[in-house]
A and B are shown apart, each in its own frame.
Chain A
Amino acid sequence: MKPILELSNVSKRYPGFSLDKVSFSLEPGYIMGFIGPNGAGKTTTIKLIMNLIRRDQGEIRVFGLDSLQHEQEIKQRIGFVYDEGHFYENLTAAEMTRLIAPIYRHWDWDFYEKYTRLFDLPARKKLSAFSRGMKMKYALAVALSHRAELLIMDEPTSGLDPVVRSEFLDILRDVIQDERCSVLLSSHITSDLDQIADYVTLIDGGRIVFSKSKEELLEEYVLIKGERSLLDSGLRDHIVGLKESQFGFEGLITAKEEVQRLAEGRAVFARPNLEEIMLHCIRGKAQ
C-alpha cells in the first residue's frame, strides 16, 4: 500500500539543535505514535510536515505529493490538531467555524453538528474561555468536519483528565475504521499509545531511534530483573538499556532465549510497556 505520509532524510539545522536525516512512513488506516523526550524534535518534525518551517534537506510526501509543491492541495486533506495558537481567541466557536468552513472544499456541516454535539462544545462561548480539553476537541471537530484523511496531532492529550482522554482515544479508533484515514500523534504520555498505536516512532536528540509496529517492538524487547552478579556473565552484550540499584538491576534486552540460557533461572522476565522501552533505549544511548 502507498504511504499516506513519507519522510526521507529530512534535516533542519538550528543553532544548538538539529534534526538529522529523519525518515519514516505511515500507511492509510493506522495510528502512529510519535514519542520522545522534550526537545527531541517531535514538534520540529511536525512543523516541517505542516510547512510551518522550511526544511534544509530531504523530502516529505503527503498523499504521495511533495509537501512544498502541493501545499494547498495537501492542507485541504490534512487535519492539524493542537490545543493553542491557530484560532482567534476573541471569537465564539460558531463564529470561528463560519470563517474556517469556506476554506475547505469538503466541508460537511452535518459532521460539524454531530461532533460539536458529541464533544459538548458550547457554540456561544468565546474560544478564550475554552479549557485546554475543549480547545483540543474543537480543533478535532474542525478536522473531522472537513473530512481530513490525515490527522496530525501535537501532544493532544497532555493536560486532559483521564475521562476525556479515554473518550478522545475512542474517537481516534473510530476515525481509522474505514481504512482511509491515518493519525500521527505525538505524545509523551506513552500509556495512551500503549492502547491505540499501531506503529511507534521514537525520536531522541533529533534522530530517529526506531520506527516499528508495536507488535514488533513487544516481540523484540523483554524486560529483565535480576541480581547484579548476573551482569558479568556475558549478559551485558544483550542489554539495550540498564538501570542498576543497590539491590539488583533492571534492563531491556533483545534475544530472550539466549539471555534466558545465560541467566539460568536467576532472573525474572516481564513484558515492557512503551515507556520502559523508550526510557531504556534513550538511557542505553547515553551510556
Chain B
Amino acid sequence: MVSIDIIITNTGEVPIYQQIVEQIKGAVLRGELRPDQPLPSIRLLAKELEISVITTKRAYEELEKEGLIYTVPGKGSFVADFDESRLTESREQLVAEKLKEVLDTAELLGLGRAELRKIFERVLGDEK
C-alpha cells in the first residue's frame, strides 16, 4: 500500500470527490506515486476519510477517465503507467495555465509585458 495523505474539508465549495481527485492527481504528477503502485480500496478510503463509498468510487472513476489510474476487477486500483513525456507535458501545462491567469490579471491592471517580466525576475530573485 502506498503512503499518501489525503486531507478533505467539508466547508469549502469544492465537492469532496473533486478534492480526492485533485490530491491523488497531484501526487501522481509530482511523481510521489509511481506507475503500477496500488491505491487504497474505495471502501478503505471511505472508511478512513469517514465519507460515503459512493464518493470515493466517483473520485476513482474520475481519475480512471483521465487515464491516471486503472482498475483490475477483484484486485483494486493502481497508478497508470503513462510515459514520462506526457507527465512533463501535464506539469508544464499546469504551470502554463497559472501563468495565463497572472497574465490576465496584469492586463486587467494595465501592466505591460516589460513590467511583467521585471516583476517575474524580481520574484525569482527573491526566491533564491
List residues of chain A with CB under 8 Å of any chain B CB: 29-30, 173-174, 176-177, 179, 195-199, 213-215, 218-219, 271
Contacts and interface: CB of A to CB of B under 8 A. Distances in A.
A177 B54 contact: no
B54 A219 contact: no
Contact of B53 (A176, A219, A271): A176
A271 to B, nearest CB: 8
A177 B55 contact: no
Given A176-B43, A177-B44, A179-B43, A215 B55 contact: yes
A279 B53 CA distance: 25
B30 interface: no
Secondary structure at the B interface, as helix, strand, loop or mixed, is helix
B52 A197 contact: yes
Nearest to A193: B52
A101 B50 CA distance: 33
Contact of A177 (B10, B43, B50, B58): B43
A199 B52 CA distance: 9
Contacts of B44: 177
Given A29-B43, A177-B47, 18 more contacts: A30-B53, A30-B54, A173-B46, A173-B47, A173-B50, A174-B47, A177-B43, A177-B44, A179-B43, A195-B50, A197-B52, A198-B53, A198-B54, A213-B54, A214-B54, A218-B15, A219-B15, A271-B10
A214 B52 contact: yes
Interface string B85-105: 000000000000000000000
Contacts of B54: 30, 198-199, 213-215
Nearest to A214: B52
B17 A215 contact: yes
Contacts, number: 36
A19 B51 CA distance: 32
5 contacts: A176-B43, A179-B43, A198-B52, A215-B52, A218-B15
Nearest to A199: B54
A249 B111 CA distance: 43
B12 to A, nearest CB: 9
Contacts of A213: 52, 54
A221 B16 CA distance: 15
Nearest to B12: A271
A29 B53 contact: yes
Contacts of B47: 173-174, 177
B16 to A, nearest CB: 8
Interface string B64-89: 00000000000000000000000000
Interface in B21-58: 43-44, 46-47, 50, 52-55, 58
A55 to B, nearest CB: 30
A180 B90 CA distance: 40
A271 B44 CA distance: 25
A215 B58 CA distance: 9
Contacts of B55: 214-215
Nearest to B46: A173
Contacts of B52: 196-198, 213-215
A202 B10 CA distance: 22
A21 B13 CA distance: 37
Contacts of A173: 46-47, 50
Across chains A and B, which 5 residue pairs bring their CB atoms closest together, nearest first?
A173-B47, A198-B52, A215-B54, A213-B54, A198-B54
B74 to A, nearest CB: 11
Contacts of B17: 215
Contacts of B50: 173, 195-196
Contacts of B58: 215
